[in-house]
Structure 1
């Protein structure tokens, strides 16, 4: 008698599990559409001629797609030099942040102490500070160091700003590496440095790649520091140059602005697509022990 009862219970539970799975997929699809909506709207706007942009009821798909907005964007503003400035600042700051954060995160993860707990607390608290609280003292410090209106000063700010988040991420990845692997290497006669290079470092590569990508994208998209610290037109980054498409009365040249913003978005998407396998592996590894 118990077996048929069990079968009936399983039969009743199967539709419930199916309904729950359908609801999860529906929620995931809705979330993806929510995230994709700004990009799709930007893509549509970039290819619309001015007469379609002036419509009261715009359409998703342009009636007469055009590349005129892209030509106007490059003619009106120095997008390529600005993109080169953003690329240089983002790449250098991401590399320097990883160089500083990786050994520090290892020490914080492997050697628990009051200092490590205090450092972890500083990492969390520093992320809560709004930019407006630090921009004035930061500007004065850089002015005394003669680093205002310089790429070096901007890179230094990006490194300091991204370092707490990089430490927080990498500490989780280091904790996900079993200490027994290092102990086994030590038993086999490997020194401390060789253990770190041959055993620990390869396992941290996915986490380092993921963290470096986040640091790069953060610096690539950063606007406020670049606006305040850089005054020379030839040194301005891409997010700052995008504001030049706004007129003196705040009226946007919508078509060229959308085209330029689309081009500014593509590098991050391409880079993410190129290293997504390592990012996925790094996130899964970091989630084992946080």
Structure 2
């Protein structure tokens, strides 16, 4: 049943409801912004202020030059880019195989891969930790990259599979009739028309890796390999201190790369998400 917004009462109710949702979503962001520019004396007042009474950039200076944030951002960028590219590459090949080839065990294998999403993050980590210890991948960037691929690959594969299933088989058969091999068809015909879902998978994998805390906190113990999530937690919020101003400034700086990347690529992201919705 469609919602009737023709009456003033319905419009007012809709505006109030939308305002509450907007407040719930954006007030934490606003509080992050104002807390990052408040001095420590104002941050710890008994009655918090909704607008900064004084303004400072000292938290940003300390986050950039004293808290090791630049090193942590570099580690996070490297790990996130590698895991996103590797995840997208594997998802493209697996999704194309499930969508365009018919072989024994195709559906059970795909369902088995998707079933990995039913397990909590921690349970997968429990199985990865002893394996990485045995293989010598603990406290390495390679091990962290593999852990991200393990979690993100099932969803990425299904997203790519949904798009590849819509590509007409006649297009592939025509290329085969012209003498093109399977790899050439995939690389020169299928991939060029699949930019949107591939970008979507890359963004999904990148954002998941960038925002991770549990895996990076458990699998990485060296300070020179530490990523942003554990870095902010252990630097500003630990047993000995709680520097909320520095944590807010560091969190804001750490969010900027993902925000900028999403703004630049949101058109492809939306196209990729909706590509498999309607056939």
TM-score, normalized by the shorter chain, greater than 0.5: yes
Instruction: Please point out which of 156, 160, 167 is paired with 1:166.
Output: 156
The answer as to 2:38 corresponding to 1:48 is yes
Q: After TM superposition, list the pairs within 5 Å mapping 1:59-70 onto structure 2.
A: 59-70=49-60
Shift of 1:204: 1.1
**CA shift digits 1:26-78 (9 cap, x unpaired):** 75565444332322221121111122212233233312221011122234421
Counterparts in 2 of 1:283 and 1:69: CA distance versus 1, 3 Å = same
Q: Tell me which moved more, 189-198 or 238-247.
A: 189-198
2 CA distance for matches of 1:66 and 1:51? Answer: 11
Structure 1 counterpart of 2:81? 91
The answer as to 2:113 corresponding to 1:123 is yes
Larger radius of gyration: 1
Find the residue that maps to 2:145 and give its secondary structure. Answer: helix
Structure 2 counterpart of 1:272? 262
CA-based RMSD of the aligned residues comes to: 2.6
Q: Tell me which moved more, 16-25 or 181-190.
A: 16-25
Q: After TM superposition, list the pairs within 5 Å mapping 1:207-246 onto structure 2.
A: 207-244=197-234, 245-246=236-237
Counterparts in 2 of 1:25 and 1:278: CA distance versus 1, 3 Å = farther
Q: Which runs of 5+ in 2 are unaligned?
A: none
The answer as to 2:239 corresponding to 1:248 is yes
Structure 2 counterpart of 1:9? none
Contact 1:44 1:61 in 2 (8 A): yes
1 CA distance for matches of 2:206 and 2:189? Answer: 26
The answer as to 2:193 corresponding to 1:203 is yes
1 CA distance for matches of 2:101 and 2:26? Answer: 42
Aligned residues: 274
Q: Tell me which moved more, 94-103 or 30-39.
A: 30-39
Contact 1:123 1:168 in 2 (8 A): no
Q: Tell me which moved more, 251-260 or 48-57.
A: 48-57
Shift of 1:97: 0.8
TM-score by length of 1: 0.84
Counterparts in 2 of 1:29 and 1:161: CA distance versus 1, 3 Å = same
Contact 1:173 1:207 in 2 (8 A): yes
2 CA distance for matches of 1:25 and 1:178? Answer: 45
